[in-house]
Amino acid sequence: MTADISKHALVPKHTKVSDSEKDKICAAHNINSMQLPKIFKEDPAISKLGVKAGDVIKIERHSKTAGVVSFYRVVIDE
């Protein structure tokens, strides 16, 4: 039996963003998606999201000082 780490209190929420949201993020920062920080497709936190290389993941972290902060990562094979 394996534990679902996405349910752990210390693992921030990971979600796959839509292609239109990915385009908005890149346009807002004047970058292409491959210039985002990377996350491996095999990362346990995203293993159940059904992602492929090139997808963008939104990571929502809770901060006592800033509230909810969003970070973005592009999925890579290796």
Pairwise CA distance, residues 52 & 62, whole Å? 26
Quick check: is 40 in a domain? yes
Quick check: is 49 in a domain? yes
Quick check: is 45 in a domain? yes
The answer for residues whose C-beta is within 8 angstroms of residue 63's C-beta and 6 or more apart is 69
The answer for residues whose C-beta is within 8 angstroms of residue 32's C-beta and 6 or more apart is 26
User: For the chain, how many structural domains are there in total?
Assistant: 1
Quick check: is 1 in a domain? no
Quick check: is 68 in a domain? yes
The model's pLDDT over 41-61, given as tens digits with 9 standing for 90+, comes to: 999 999 889 999 999 999 999
Please, which pLDDT band fits residue 65 given cuts at 50, 70 and 90?
A: very high
CATH number at residue 35: 3.90.940.20
Backbone phi, psi, residue 22, to 5°: -60, -45
The angle at the Cα of 49, spanning 6 to 13, to the nearest 5 degrees, equals 40
Quick check: is 38 in a domain? yes
Per the structure, the complete domain to which residue 29 belongs is given by 11-76
Q: What is the pLDDT of residue 1?
A: 54
